[in-house]
Structure 1
Amino acid sequence: MNKILFLDTTLRDGEQTPGISLTKDEKLLIAKEVDTLGVDIIEAGAVAVSDGERSAIKDIVKEGLNAEICTYSRAIRSDIDYALDCNVDSIHLVVPTSELHMRKIGKNSEEVEDMVIESIKYAKDHGLIVELSGEDASRANLDNLIRLYKKGEEYKADRICLCDTVGILIPERTEEIFSKIKKEISIPIAIHAHDDFGLATANSIIALRNGASEVHVAINGLGERAGNTCLEEVSSALKFLYKEDIDIKMEKIYKVSRTVSKITGINVQPNKAIVGNNAFTHEAGIHVHGIAKDPSTYEPIKPELVGRERRIVLGKHTGRKSVEIALKGFGLEFSKEDLEEIFKRVKEIGDRGRRITDGDLLAIAENVLALSYRQRVRLIEYNVVTGNKIKSTASMILDIDDKEHIEADVGVGPVDAAINALRKTISEITDISLDEYHVDAISGGTDALVDVSVKLSRNGKSITTSGVDVDIIKASIDAVISGINRLLK
């Protein structure tokens, strides 16, 4: 393959994910994070959407990022004028190319061609880079599509793009289409794939191997319906499987994925490739035994290459080796008999359908090994006030080393406020980072028991603990205080 360009569309197509609506500041933060990955082009939004969207695009342009800043534009002069006003580097000029999509705007192929010519001429006259994109191109007549692309090339478009708008391409057809386009077009060709049938990554790679030199991607595969091609999947496959020399900074992928997930509120599914929580997590005994001898036994790449860490978790399928590794990780010394008893108790909990946190394991081990530790932090009382127009406020009274400490703080909701107040209260003795937060309802109804699990870290050491209560705020506080006490041991 030639040099591969990455166009990240998280802020445009990704924001069209149902339920996502980003503020100006959130869009800027994501743009800055994506830029650290080394992508070549950032599609910052669609200029015709709103005044707020244009304001956000302007802020991104002013940030002076390394990536080319692009905006989605229809073949309408007003869109191009908006793009010029935003001072972007390029436009992603999208026009319908299938009969179905041309009927949507009441145009035929000749009329669309005229729109393209006029728009490209106007954009180029005003100094814009133009990427001409065929909407629903995977269902267009291929000869007509190539004719349109040739017109784009004739009028000095810089790149062309084929959009598989509803994700119906299969790899064999992708190879056929891109091979034919490559024979007819000399400017760079891009693939914009959707994942409706789970083939976006495969189709994108096939396109790159058959003439394309640019791929459109989104962090965590965000996008309409089933989403867009995942940046993390395509880049990892190219780098580690096809041994391509790409500019993406792979070690930053997980951090950016987590940031985007946190900002958008869209959680990554646990079994998601590369960035899912389970991607480098092992529970089954035979797997952990193999990992202990040689990580490549059950891992295709080292987790550090994509900014991850290997995790050994305990549960129903846990083997003795998993328990042994976990206990040694806590610096505990134990005999074979101790290990056997701890292993037995872990299995009993796993058989009851419970996941076993670090805190659970330590509690079991402390019981078996007759260990004890002083709980330096205890909850005395808390109070939370929330409303629908102001931030929630929480006050907290803790017993820390036998002295009462009282603090208050605010948050976007009652749980956030309570955790912020808790962290503020203990800030005098230590700084604790809340890295992960997860809640499950154990039973049904409005009075359901909830199980809150958290991952906390301090001075490079991390621990997972949980709290169970009918009150999600209390369960959250219990989980965090449990972790704090164990990290302070």
Structure 2
Amino acid sequence: MNTRKQSDRSHPRSSPWIIDTTLRDGEQAPGVAFTPGEKKAIASALAGCRVDELEIGYPAINSEERTSISDIARLHLPLRLTSWARARESDIEQAARCATEGIHISFPLSELYLHLMQKDIAWVLRQVPAMIGIARKHFDFVSIGAQDATRTPAKTLQAFILTAWRSGADRVRIADTVGISTPVQLMQTIPDLKSAAPVTLEFHAHNDLGMATANAFSAIEAGCEAVSVSVNGLGERAGNAALEELALALKLSGHHECHIRTDLLGDLCNLVAQASGRTIEPQKPITGSAAFLHESGIHCNALMKNPLSYQPFLPQEVGRASFDFVIGKHSGSAAIQHILASNGITVNRSEASGLLDPVRRAAGSSKRNLTAEEVTTLYHQYIRNKKERQ
């Protein structure tokens, strides 16, 4: 089992516990359905990346889901596996058949969610100890979650956390269910929630306002010991906090330990992209095809002198071979020299500078980058024109 696995109550702040929910919340993204084989492959790849915990499914969906969860449990991966359940005894009993070590039990908490379910906070506070008591019969680890926590009054949320802790919960999830939180808000509210009870807090971010990864990182900064993420940020609506983005943010922070194998993230992200049918956009941070692609002349010139001049980290840290240059409207002479050299043509800086105008015109009129072959053709035209002028 995972050598880091311990009671989450004692995790140091500098080493946040990373929970991946690609196989649960990620698969809830519209149109996404993993096959059992894909689920096992993704789970194994996540374990290889040294994720601490996998939330691997929702057993109450159907028997096929329970079979898939059980199959992953039988892989005996070196991390904690948890199942997801509603605050219902039947959900917990169905999860118990899947042999995961842990369970996460989710409660509605905001006034809106309680109204939709025709419940009140008194019902929640009664059900928390009851559900934890049932779960303890089957699971070594019990996590309790507050749905729509970021739209819940602070006193209600604090009472929920205190009740969960007193009832023996190992962890409490603060879910930003509709992605409305901001980093500044979390830096203000998480410390107050931490003061409610000495229980491990987890933050679960959604990306509706494009701040999921920033919110997950800020929650850690503010004192949360655990966060849940998904590969490629896959999830409902605009998705969740992205595992690969958070991992690099932690690694570069200088004051958080990052135990994730970032060099394996590229393969993991491609695996999930293929299985989900969701392509990775070129400008996607960390893993997008354009993440280490450069055109600007100033940038390219500096990168050849120091690859960290216009990159926050080296491509090799995320399993990429190298950064690369493309020739376009904003290219400079150094990049032209580099591209031509890759085609076996050596030119001096003066000749490369002479190519700038035709290269930039061609790229501008075609509204795209030029291939090395096109740059080579322009070079030969430039040489011919130069000879004719002499």
TM-score for the superposition, normalised by structure 1? 0.71
- Distance apart, 1:255 and its partner CA: 1.9
DSSP 3-state at the match of 1:295: coil
Structure 1, 302-311 or 77-86: larger mean CA deviation? 302-311
Does the 8 Å CA contact 1:201/1:233 hold for their aligned counterparts?
Answer: yes
Inter-partner Cα distance in structure 2 for 1:105 and 1:128? 29
Matched residue, 1:91: 103
Matched residue, 2:215: 203
Inter-partner Cα distance in structure 2 for 1:369 and 1:49? 69
Inter-partner Cα distance in structure 1 for 2:196 and 2:41? 40
DSSP 3-state at the match of 2:222: coil
Structure 2 segments unaligned to the other structure (5+ residues): 1-12, 385-390
- Distance apart, 1:159 and its partner CA: 0.7
Aligned with residue 355 of structure 1, among 357, 360, 369: 369
> Number of aligned pairs?
369
Matched residue, 2:74: 62
Inter-partner Cα distance in structure 2 for 1:20 and 1:346? 43
Matched residue, 1:321: 334
Inter-partner Cα distance in structure 1 for 2:180 and 2:238? 12
Question: Which aligned pairs between 1:126-165 and structure 2 lie closer than 5 A?
Answer: 126-165=138-177
Indicate whether 1:250 and 2:262 are aligned.
Answer: yes
Aligned with residue 325 of structure 2, among 290, 309, 312: 312
Indicate whether 1:19 and 2:3 are aligned.
Answer: no
Aligned with residue 226 of structure 1, among 223, 238, 254: 238
State the Cα deviation string for residues 189-228 of structure 1 (Å, max 9, x = none): 1000111112222222222122210011111111111111
- Distance apart, 1:178 and its partner CA: 1.1
- Distance apart, 1:8 and its partner CA: 0.4
- Distance apart, 1:339 and its partner CA: 4.6
Inter-partner Cα distance in structure 2 for 1:96 and 1:365? 66
- Distance apart, 1:160 and its partner CA: 0.7
Inter-partner Cα distance in structure 2 for 1:100 and 1:270? 38
Inter-partner Cα distance in structure 2 for 1:84 and 1:358? 59
- Distance apart, 1:359 and its partner CA: 5.0
DSSP 3-state at the match of 1:318: coil
Return the letter of the residue paired with 2:124.
V
Structure 1 segments unaligned to the other structure (5+ residues): 371-489
- Distance apart, 1:340 and its partner CA: 5.9
- Distance apart, 1:360 and its partner CA: 4.2
Residues 46 and 367 from structure 1, CA distance in 2 versus in 1: closer, same or farther, beyond 3 angstroms?
farther
Inter-partner Cα distance in structure 1 for 2:25 and 2:205? 11
Matched residue, 1:29: 41
Does the 8 Å CA contact 2:128/2:167 hold for their aligned counterparts?
Answer: no
Aligned identity (percent) is 33
Indicate whether 1:264 and 2:276 are aligned.
Answer: yes
Relative contact order (alpha carbons < 8 A, sep ≥ 6): 1 or 2 greater? Answer: 2
Inter-partner Cα distance in structure 1 for 2:97 and 2:358? 66
Does the 8 Å CA contact 1:334/1:369 hold for their aligned counterparts?
Answer: no
Indicate whether 1:276 and 2:288 are aligned.
Answer: yes
DSSP 3-state at the match of 1:45: coil
- Distance apart, 1:342 and its partner CA: 6.2
Matched residue, 1:100: 112
DSSP 3-state at the match of 2:218: helix
Structure showing greater radius of gyration is: 1
Does the 8 Å CA contact 2:40/2:72 hold for their aligned counterparts?
Answer: yes
Does the 8 Å CA contact 2:337/2:346 hold for their aligned counterparts?
Answer: no
CA RMSD of aligned residues (A): 2.2
Higher helix share: 2
Matched residue, 1:180: 192
- Distance apart, 1:50 and its partner CA: 2.2
Indicate whether 1:297 and 2:309 are aligned.
Answer: yes
DSSP 3-state at the match of 2:368: coil
- Distance apart, 1:344 and its partner CA: 5.6
Matched residue, 1:123: 135
Return the letter of the residue paired with 2:39.
K
- Distance apart, 1:47 and its partner CA: 1.1
Inter-partner Cα distance in structure 2 for 1:81 and 1:369? 78
Moved over 4 A (4+): 337-345, 358-370
Higher strand share: 1
Return the letter of the residue paired with 2:327.
L
Aligned with residue 241 of structure 1, among 241, 246, 253: 253
